[in-house]
Amino acid sequence: MNINKILIGFLFAAGAGAFQGCNDDAMSEITTLQLERALSPTEMTAAVVNKTGVKLTWTPVGTAKYYKAEIFESADFSGSAVKTVDSIAIAKIPYTITGLSGETTYYARVKALGTGNEDSKWVSASFTTDAEQILQDVNPQKMTATTVTINWPAGETATSIVLTPGNITKTVTPAEIAAGEAVVTGLTQGTSYTVKLMNGTKTRGTKSFVAGEIPVSSTQSLATVIASAKDGDVFSLLAGTYAVNGDLAINKSITIKAATSTNKPLITGATIKINANAGLTLKNLVLDGTGSSGDQTIIYNEDQTSAYGALSVQDCELKKYVKGLVYVNKKALIESVVMSGNIIYEIECSGGDFIDFRTGIAKTFLFENNTVYNSCHARDLFRMDVTGATNFNSITSIITIRNNTFNDVANANRFLYIRLTSHQIHFTKNIIANTNGYYTNQASTTITTMASNNYFNAPNFTGSATANAKNDASTTKTLLDPGFTSASTGDFTISNTTLKNGNIGDPRWIK
């Protein structure tokens, strides 16, 4: 019996020793594992940048130090690659490839380059580029009532120029390609056109213009030029300073705009007074209230029984007006008001509100993609009084305020002092920062939609103790620090990722 126990013990010890030996060998294999092929990267994505470039992102796996990328127009990666990058270091990930064609679907693939073993298998992703934009702004000085000169960088290939409406098509010649310039005829004066530069079926650039725009230089009197306007005239202001220091009387429906999108003309000291049911479009201008009468920027100047035309203020810079931006203290029904893409600051609002409708009304009012700062410290931001609804009792005014950045405005005052009998307010995706203002204390203010707004250092919009205050109780609001780059110098680029991903605030600051 004792001999059996000894034998069993011996066998058990021998087996355990053998197992331990196997385990040591296995561990040795794992720590010195040699793969025949490099490990493929993972989580590859392809994002279009600057219209015709792509940013490739992937997660390196294993010990590979370099990667190869290829771009094809074929989904099966047949034929020749249109772009190849042979050796991308890990430190260069994500990697951007430029110089692709517009409006094209591409297929990208990436693999790890082996060191002492085979390259990894490819991983892939697809993407579609945007239309290119190589067209230059239409120069009103190179335009007549029925012709327009189209320009693009000399030598850039194109096959045709297409204008709509009218389906006007011009074939581009080799000489025009070399010059980067072509003249298109057959236009109708006063018509708004969209022009596309095409290379086959692909768009290389798109611009809009009005045929027969009237060029104006800063050596001319802007007031005198506008006084002779006809309905539909478009005045294209060349770069420079237009010192008005008085009234601009708008008696016809006209457009006043910059001749080019890259150089805003400066208009100083102007008070714009709209009469005779006129409509007005202001685009890509700087309006500086210094030297003005101390009034609002735009004033509706006459009672009217029929509707005024549309008011549109787009991509402008408005500053240093004393009373406010828009004043409607006449019996005035306005077809629509659009204020979009503007930078607005140092509007004091002394003696008037920022948007100030006393006895008039707009059928629709849209305030979007604007940045407003250091303004409206003395009065309310949006004011629309009940008298406007009394004067036009069949109108339900639709008020939309979205994707704006408000910083240091309406301190201790109301954002929405709106008392129209019938109205809707849609207030969404705005950033409100650094203010002690609050929404409203008016029972008649109807906020139909309040969603996805962000409040930073603006406690009274979510918890005002003012009697009858309307606070944002939505589940979609946030209280995040936007991380403005430099609010004191007017740079409101945000660094907060949540706000960026949610597209909250003025889109120009989401980069």
Residue 124 and residue 145 in one domain: no
Q: Do 386 and 416 lie in a common domain?
A: yes
- The secondary structure of 114-158 as a DSSP string is PSSSBPPPPEEEEEEPPPP--PPPP-GGGB-SS-EEEE--TT---
Does the pTM surpass 0.85? The reply is no
Tell me what pLDDT residue 114 has: 87
Could you tell me the pLDDT band of residue 28, with boundaries at 50, 70 and 90? very low
Label the pairing between strands 181-184 and 148-151.
Answer: antiparallel
Number of domains in the chain: 3
Task: State yes or no: pLDDT of 103 exceeds 90.
Answer: yes
Task: Identify whether residues 116 and 144 lie together within a single domain.
Answer: no
pLDDT score, position 402: 98
Instruction: Write down which residue in 128, 162, 189 finishes a domain.
Output: 128
CATH number reported for the structural domain that contains residue 182 in this entry: 2.60.40.10
Which domain does 88 fall in, by range? 42-128
Q: Are residues 308 and 179 in the same domain?
A: no
Q: Are residues 338 and 424 in the same domain?
A: yes
pLDDT band per the 50, 70, 90 thresholds, residue 31: very low
175 domain residue, yes or no: yes
User: Nearest CA to 454 among 491, 405, 488?
Assistant: 405
In a shared domain, residues 162 and 110: no
Residue 278 CA to residue 103 CA, distance in Å, equals 41
Structural tokens at position 352: 């008037």
2, part of any domain:
no
CA-CA distance, 46 to 510, in Å (whole number)?
A: 20
Last residue of a domain, one of 96, 128, 160: 128
Q: Report yes or no on 498 lying in a domain.
A: yes
**Is the separation of the CB atoms in 49 and 121 below 8 Å?**
no
Residue 24 lies in a domain: no
Q: Which of 121, 119, 54, 112 is nearest to 88 (CA)?
A: 112
Does residue 122 sit within a domain?
yes
Dihedral (CA of 30, 31, 32, 35) sign: positive
Confirm whether 135 is domain-assigned.
no
Contact, 445 vs 470, CB < 8 A?
Answer: yes
Asked if residue 204 and residue 100 are part of one domain, the reply reads no
Q: Which of the residue ranges 140-144, 270-274, 321-325 would you say has the lowest mean pLDDT? A: 140-144
Instruction: Assess if residue 272 is contained within a domain.
Output: no
Q: How confident is the model at residue 6 (pLDDT cuts 50, 70, 90)?
A: very low
Query: What is the pLDDT, as a whole number, of residue 34?
Result: 60
pLDDT in tens, 470-484: 999 999 999 999 999
The reply to whether 118 and 180 lie within a common domain is no
- Rounded Cα distance between 373 and 377, Å, is 10
| pLDDT higher than 50, residue 433 | yes
Residue at which a domain ends, from 156, 178, 210 = 210
In a shared domain, residues 117 and 188: no
Q: Are residues 199 and 316 in the same domain?
A: no
In a domain, 482, yes or no: yes
Q: What pLDDT score does 163 carry?
A: 97
pLDDT at residue 33, as a whole number: 53
Mean pLDDT of the chain: 92
Q: What is the reported pLDDT for 8?
A: 41
188 and 310 share one domain:
no
> What average pLDDT does the segment 390-415 reach?
96
Question: Is the confidence at residue 396, as pLDDT, over 60?
Answer: yes
146, 124: one domain: no
* Average pLDDT value for residue range 56-75: 94
